[in-house]
Amino acid sequence: MSESNTPIKVPTMAEMAAKGEAPEVLFWVGCAGSFDERAQKITKAMVKILHHTGISFAILGQEESCTGDPAKRAGNEFLFQMQAMNNIAVLNGYDIKKIVTACPHCFNTLKNEYPALGGEYEVVHHTQFLQELIDSGRLTVSGGAFKGKKITYHDSCYLGRANGVYEAPRKVLQALDAELKEMKRCKAKGLCCGAGGAQMFKEAEKGDKEINIERAEEALETGASVIAANCPFCMTMMRDGVKNFNKEDEVEVLDLAELVARAEDL
């Protein structure tokens, strides 16, 4: 493993615009990816991949604000639309064409709900972007660290059922030469992690089990040593679930971007 520790400079849109440049793609970091300590690692992995492939990218930095997804799903349409319109003003101000994001909630909102408010962009989830890069040969992934390892994949609701993306993340796993062990409920039948619809920000209603425990149990049943995720909220829920079974030393929950970055030793 090389340890060159070369610093990566992450340009903001403001800096690029000042130089009269436009990036190929805007990396929408999202609130979890910006503030949540665990999700920041996903953000960093994604930036390392972007940097490694030489794609010109930028972030909005402090000009980025929550897409409004949890507000909308919690019934606060006012707050959602205020967030959306402010973000759209910023995005349109920079004439953004293509956005990649590592959060399926941001992905869904930007792609499906911003057009009605005047924000039309090509929006891709980072797993789709990774697949595009692999398919076009801009990113080569050698099995390396995960060759032959058992990995199970948790479909997030907002990438899966909400937007019908099931194959792109699986193709990325294939490129890692890992052995994909599907859970009993997967793809369109995949079980939610319990965080969507603004549940992430509140205690669950009264019940006899937590949803993430149910899902983690199912993931552990596959015997996989890695649970692959594509969403920072699923990440939190699945990690908590695995911890609940005291399996955190044996089973890692990793985002697809982290798997790729680790396989390539980025």
Site for another protein in 173-202 (CB under 8 A): 188-189, 191-192, 194-202
Q: How far is the CB of 179 from another protein (least distance, A)?
A: 26
Q: How far is the CB of 112 from another protein (least distance, A)?
A: 4
Nearer to another protein, 37 or 249 (CB): 37
Distances (CA, A) of 235 to 98, 110, 175, 227, 264: 25, 21, 22, 9, 21
Nearer to another protein, 107 or 129 (CB): 107
249 counts as binding another protein under rule CB under 8 A: no
Q: Which residue's structure tokens are 């992430």?
A: 200
Query: Cα 156 to chain center, whole Å?
Result: 9
**Structure token pair of residue 26:** 């805007």
**Structure token pair of residue 172:** 């990325």
C-beta separation of 130 from 165 below 8 A: no
**SS3 label, residue 29:** coil
Looking at residue 190, the DSSP 8-state letter turns out to be P
Site for another protein in 39-58 (CB under 8 A): 40, 43-44, 47-48, 51-52
Nearer to another protein, 181 or 197 (CB): 197
Nearer to another protein, 3 or 249 (CB): 3
**Segment lying near another protein (by CB under 8 A), choices 5-13, 136-144, 145-153, 216-224:** 5-13
Q: Which residues pair with 123 in a beta bridge?
A: 99
6 counts as binding another protein under rule CB under 8 A: yes
Closest CA to 173 of 215, 216, 130, 138: 130
Nearer to another protein, 184 or 250 (CB): 184
Backbone angles phi, psi at 12, to 5 degrees: -95, 165
Binding mask 62-101 for another protein (x = CB under 8 A): x-xxx-x-xxxxxxxxxx-xxx-x----------------
**Structure token pair of residue 105:** 């909630």
Site for another protein in 104-143 (CB under 8 A): 108, 111-113, 116-117
Distances (CA, A) of 135 to 48, 140, 227: 19, 9, 24
**Segment lying near another protein (by CB under 8 A), choices 59-67, 95-103, 129-137, 216-224:** 59-67
Q: Which residues pair with 98 in a beta bridge?
A: 122
Size of the site for another protein (CB under 8 A): 81
Site for another protein in 142-161 (CB under 8 A): 157-158, 161
